[in-house]
Amino acid sequence: IKEDGQKVYKKTTSQAIMSATQLGIGFSVGRLSAKPERDVLMQDFYFVEKVWFPSDGSRETPSHKFDNFRFKCYAPAAFRYFRDLFGIEPSDFLISLANEPIKEIGNPGASGSLFFVSNDDMFIVKTVQHKEATFLQQLLPGYYMNLHQNPRTLLPKFFGLYCYQAGTSNIRLTVMNNLLPSKYKCHVKFDLKGSTYKRKASKSERSKSSPTLKDLDFSQIYPNGITLDHETYDAVIKTISRDVRVLESFSIMDYSFLLGIHNIEQSVRDRKMSSPQTHRNPEREARKNEFSAKLEAIQLSNENEEEVRPAGVIPAKNDKGERLYLFIGIIDILQSYRLAKKMEHGFKSMLTDGDTVSVHKPSFYAKRFLDFIKDNVFKRSAVQRQPTKRRAK
Ligand code: ATP
Ligand code: CA
Ligand code: CA
């Protein structure tokens, strides 16, 4: 919805949401750093910190130009621990989300949620529905048990869950990892579910400079899929299989495989056409690189790799033999089939529910999703991963 060019979500301008988020996260991270670190206890998952931000400011909070609001931070100690596990320093989190501006990005999805990206490209802030936020809260203990057992995952990395309350609106926000660093132009990106029903991007989406396409578009553009050398293929499929099993165990459905494709040959062609790019802050670029779908995240070793390929990127080829860099991850995992009726009974009933429909539907979804990725999206190259002779220019 738009009103004098400003996006409005739940009667609140995106500008107000953005500023409140920055103030709220800044306050919460600051307060937390004053407390000593300790092991996470079960009750930490359910603790909610609430802070009142009057427009005029208070002893603890700065003044601001919006209406009075309350900011809730869910499970702050637990999320601090997870950020630590993901290698995110408190100071980096603070700089990226509270000190530097964040900007709104368009959402090709249908849900109407807002997306913001931090200036350094590391974090995405997404508004989520009430039931998704409640689900994430309930999911945290189980989700992170999985993370401990299997840190090499392509599931979203959740860094925080918040609620901004102003007037009568409650706007819930998650902070997660950005899978598509802007440093590499994604010539095309796909949001894939393994379904064919209504899985074609709209005309208006397709006319964008960096459109998000869907399953039917993929099958049309890549009828032969994308080729991975067999080590990479095995690692990717192994990781996705494990992740999908976890999602199925929570009766989660409707998630997507996000696939960003940077075509090296095309970017060389494009660069020849246009003037050379200006150099940017190298330190920040380096920080971007160590991010998103890291190669280590899918159990690969980097030895024998002569090509200067940036960390965190998956090498592949299209059927013309052009070299590609892939950015991948599983997104939008907060819809659970069992959720609606089981939520109020908490985490245990999510696991022990005997309802057969809520077992079958998610397992059907999971199988179709995985089959599509392993049979249609990726092809396993028969040849050994060939050490590249040429250096990337
Ligand atoms: P819907 O429920 O209608 O599918 P949504 O509002 O829940 O949409 P998502 O499905 O989470 O939104 O994401 C929509 C799009 O936003 C994705 O197709 C992708 O292009 C982009 N996106 C989402 N999460 C990320 C992420 N972590 N990194 C980069 N891009 C993302
Ligand atoms: Ca989605
Ligand atoms: Ca969604």
Q: What is the pLDDT of residues 63-80, one digit of tens each?
A: 999 999 999 999 999 999
Task: Please report where in the chains the tokens 């009828």 appear, as a residue.
Answer: 223
Which of 332, 335, 369 maximizes ligand 1 atoms within 8 Å of its Cβ, making it the mutation to test the pocket?
A: 332
Distance 79 CA to ligand 2 centre (A): 24
pLDDT value for 292 = 44
Closest ligand to residue 126's CA: 1
Structure tokens at 82: 């997870």
Please give the Cα distance from 350 to 337 (Å, whole number): 10
Please give the Cα distance from 32 to 320 (Å, whole number): 52
Please give the Cα distance from 121 to 330 (Å, whole number): 18
- Burial of residue 139 (CB within 10 Å: 0-12, 13-18, 19+) is buried
Ligand 1 atom index nearest CA of 110:
3
- Burial of residue 226 (CB within 10 Å: 0-12, 13-18, 19+) is buried
Ligand 1 atom index nearest CA of 189:
20
Distance 156 CA to ligand 1 centre (A): 11
pLDDT value for 25 = 95
pLDDT value for 295 = 46
H helix intervals, the chain: 14-33, 76-85, 90-94, 130-149, 203-206, 215-221, 230-249, 264-273, 282-289, 339-342, 347-352, 357-371
Kindly tell me the sign of the dihedral angle through the C-alpha atoms of 201, 4, 161, 284. Answer: positive
3-state helix, strand, coil in the chain (%, to 5): 40, 20, 40
pLDDT value for 366 = 96
CA 117-122-128 angle, 5° bins: 50
How far, in whole angstroms, is CA 162 from its chain's centroid?
A: 16
DSSP reduced 3-state for 88: coil
**Partner residues linked to 189 by β-bridges:** 212, 260
pLDDT in tens, 91-120: 999 999 999 989 998 876 677 899 999 999
Which of 113, 331, 333, 335 maximizes ligand 1 atoms within 8 Å of its Cβ, making it the mutation to test the pocket?
A: 331
- Burial of residue 62 (CB within 10 Å: 0-12, 13-18, 19+) is exposed
Show the low-confidence residues of the chain (pLDDT under 70).
1-6, 108-109, 275-311, 338-359, 384-393
Distance 255 CA to ligand 2 centre (A): 6
Helix axes of 230-249 and 357-371: crossing angle, nearest 10 degrees: 170
Distance 254 CA to ligand 2 centre (A): 7
Using CB distances shorter than 6 Å, the residues near ligand 1 are 107-111, 113, 124, 176-180, 189, 191, 212, 256, 258, 331-332
Closest ligand to residue 191's CA: 1
Distance 109 CA to ligand 1 centre (A): 6
pLDDT value for 387 = 58
- Burial of residue 302 (CB within 10 Å: 0-12, 13-18, 19+) is exposed
The amino acid at residue 75 is: A
Please give the Cα distance from 73 to 50 (Å, whole number): 6
pLDDT value for 101 = 87
pLDDT value for 299 = 44
Distance 328 CA to ligand 2 centre (A): 15
CB 299 within 8 A of CB 239: yes
DSSP reduced 3-state for 57: coil
pLDDT value for 297 = 53
Please give the Cα distance from 334 to 104 (Å, whole number): 21
Which of 7, 10, 107 maximizes ligand 1 atoms within 8 Å of its Cβ, making it the mutation to test the pocket?
A: 107
Ligand 1 atom index nearest CA of 180:
29
The enclosing H or E element of 102 equals strand 102-105
Indicate which residue's Cα is closest to atom 24 of ligand 1.
331
Closest ligand to residue 109's CA: 1
DSSP reduced 3-state for 42: helix
Helix axes of 14-33 and 76-85: crossing angle, nearest 10 degrees: 80
Closest ligand to residue 107's CA: 1
Which of 155, 199, 258 maximizes ligand 1 atoms within 8 Å of its Cβ, making it the mutation to test the pocket?
A: 258
pLDDT value for 20 = 92
* Residue 151 CB neighbour total at 10 angstroms: 11
Structure tokens at 124: 């995405």
Distance 309 CA to ligand 1 centre (A): 26
